[in-house]
Amino acid sequence: MSDQPNSAHLEGLKTFLRIPSISTLSEHKPDIRRAAEFVRDELRAAGLTGAALIEGEGNPLVFAEWLDAPGKPTLLLYGHYDVQPPDPLEEWISPPFDPAVRGDDIFARGASDDKGQTYILIKAVEGLLRATGRLPVNVKFLIEGEEETGGEHIARYVAAHPDRLKAGAAVICDTEMFAPELPTLCVGLRGIVYGELVVEGVGQDLHSGVYGGAAPNPLQAIAEILCALKDRDGHIRIPGFHDRVVPPSPAERDAWARLPFDEDDYRSREVGARELTGEPEIPLLERLWARPTLEVHGVRGGFVGEGAKTVIPARAVAKISTRLVADQRTEEAERQLKDAVRAVCPRGVSAEFRTIHSAGPSLVNPDNPFIRAAAQAMTQVFGKETVYIRSGGSIPIVGLFDQHLRIPSVMMGFGLPDDRIHSPNEKLHLPNFFRGIQAVSRYLEQVGGLSA
């Protein structure tokens, strides 16, 4: 198998990256469709059968399959063609949807999360089909276009079509390597409950001099609610919230402690912070991978224009989320959060948490032939022992594949910690793109050696 960078692959990736398929902004619906069609056409050209868009409420899913390996296992290959908004635009060195190669990296929104990595799956399958006319395993592709907004469409589809999606394991390239050159499998993700905290005071904005001291202020209330829900040391103060939290096993803790990790380097180079925060008594990787969070993402309300306006706003809204870990349950956590918001709501205002989307946490047992084969394939291609990590991020489908299809997800990620996913100047390290293609094709060959 060639390990020479293939320029056609790079050109194809650039075409994919030029489509601004931002799922959270409705004005990008036509781009969402174009991205779905691009993926469908690529899958068709790669030699898969039945390549088609699956329409439904929400953004189209893309499906394709190749099932001519009787007696061999079947893999369900997943990725997402939607991306996060690129703002703040002025911080991009080159425009987010005009992919630019600088050094060994390609810069664009979606380069790493997840167009580049979805393309790795497509090009690996295409390469094997072109070279040999067949595949060592059966494959089904299911690519979605609303992962970044909670993945409602795929959730309904997976629940309704377990037979069509039947497979031995799912393969997902949408995570990160722990360090450059270090082959990594991700075996745990956090879940999420995302929503809006809506706080209402009086019926209209008021003069803050005339009424200040008497009228309730929803923005102040948001601050007070957030401080009551999480203390200055990062402890979440929601009754019962940690009851189901499973601590990592001693073996897992040991393995994490042996990972090549310099906390100071992480703080200064990767995060860029003066000081790290969070629960001080919990080791950093455990805080990131095995503890729930509560974060505020944005606050809307009052006067935010140029200059000064003395006003007490009538209403304010905060976007907040909590990340969940095994064995927290989404619905229970949501209820606990809603109840806690009501319980700590200051006098004179009403406060309500309204969920936008949610997804459960997931843990994959690495003691599984599909995972072991992946570790071997990664080790062969990268020339190093594969490490097992968890990630603090969420991929809603992983829990649903487990729940509805009863299959493990093999999370072979080729992103790097400095890829700046969701941030300005997102990039993908091109050597990882090409080695990712090799690693996935090696993996398919490896799985071809397992019995169905």
SS (H, E, C) 142-197: EEECCHHHCCHHHHHHHHHCCCCCCCCEEEECCCECCCCCCCEEEEEECEEEEEEE
Written as six digits, the tokens of 451 are 């019995």
- Closest to ligand BES by CB, 175 or 322: 175
Among Mn ion, ligand BES, none, partner that 393 touches (CB below 5 to 8 angstroms by kind) = ligand BES
For residue 357, give every residue at least 6 positions away whose Cβ sits within 8 Å of its Cβ, in sequence order, or none. Answer: 149, 150, 151, 152, 192, 194, 396
- Closest to ligand BES by CB, 79 or 136: 79
Give strand pairing partners of 353: 197
| CB environment 235-246: b (16+ within 10 A), e (fewer) | bbebeebeebee
Q: Which H or E run contains 431?
A: helix 430-448
Residues of this chain that interact with Mn ion (CB under 5 A) are 113-114, 174
- Closest to ligand BES by CB, 63 or 81: 81
Among ligand BES, Mn ion, none, partner that 175 touches (CB below 5 to 8 angstroms by kind) = ligand BES
> HSE-up of 345 (CA within 13 Å, CB side)?
20
- CA quadruple 263, 265, 269, 272: dihedral sign: positive
Residues of this chain that interact with ligand BES (CB under 6 A) are 113-114, 147-148, 150, 174-176, 192, 357, 359, 391, 393-396, 421
Task: Find the shortest distance in angstroms from Cβ 123 to ligand BES.
Answer: 19
In one letter, which amino acid is 370?
F
Task: Find the shortest distance in angstroms from Cβ 70 to ligand BES.
Answer: 34
Among Mn ion, ligand BES, none, partner that 394 touches (CB below 5 to 8 angstroms by kind) = ligand BES
Q: Is the separation of the CB atoms in 405 and 413 below 8 Å? A: no
Task: Find the shortest distance in angstroms from Cβ 217 to ligand BES.
Answer: 30
Query: Which residue, among 378, 404, 324, 355, has the nearest Cα to 142 in the 3D structure?
Result: 404
Among Mn ion, ligand BES, none, partner that 193 touches (CB below 5 to 8 angstroms by kind) = none
Q: Which H or E run contains 435?
A: helix 430-448
- Closest to Mn ion by CB, 166 or 297: 297
- Closest to Mn ion by CB, 44 or 422: 422
- Closest to Mn ion by CB, 114 or 286: 114
For residue 322, give every residue at least 6 positions away whose Cβ sits within 8 Å of its Cβ, in sequence order, or none. Answer: 192, 193, 236, 292, 293, 294, 295, 333, 337
In one letter, which amino acid is 84?
Q
Report the residue number whose CB is nearest to Mn ion: 114
d(CA 228, CA 251): 35
Among Mn ion, ligand BES, none, partner that 150 touches (CB below 5 to 8 angstroms by kind) = ligand BES
Task: Find the shortest distance in angstroms from Cβ 192 to ligand BES.
Answer: 5
Task: Find the shortest distance in angstroms from Cβ 84 to ligand BES.
Answer: 7
Task: Find the shortest distance in angstroms from Cβ 386 to ligand BES.
Answer: 16
Task: Find the shortest distance in angstroms from Cβ 158 to ligand BES.
Answer: 15
Task: Find the shortest distance in angstroms from Cβ 114 to Mn ion.
Answer: 4
The label of the residue with tokens 């594969």 reads: 386
- Closest to ligand BES by CB, 174 or 286: 174
- Closest to Mn ion by CB, 65 or 174: 174
Task: Find the shortest distance in angstroms from Cβ 396 to Mn ion.
Answer: 10
- Closest to ligand BES by CB, 31 or 148: 148
- Closest to ligand BES by CB, 65 or 419: 419
Q: What share of the chain is helix, strand, coil (3-state, %, to 5)?
A: 35, 25, 40
For residue 334, give every residue at least 6 positions away whose Cβ sits within 8 Å of its Cβ, in sequence order, or none. Answer: 193, 355, 358
Among ligand BES, Mn ion, none, partner that 328 touches (CB below 5 to 8 angstroms by kind) = none
Among Mn ion, ligand BES, none, partner that 333 touches (CB below 5 to 8 angstroms by kind) = none
Report the residue number whose CB is nearest to ligand BES: 393
Task: Find the shortest distance in angstroms from Cβ 223 to Mn ion.
Answer: 28
Q: Is the separation of the CB atoms in 52 and 142 below 8 Å? A: no
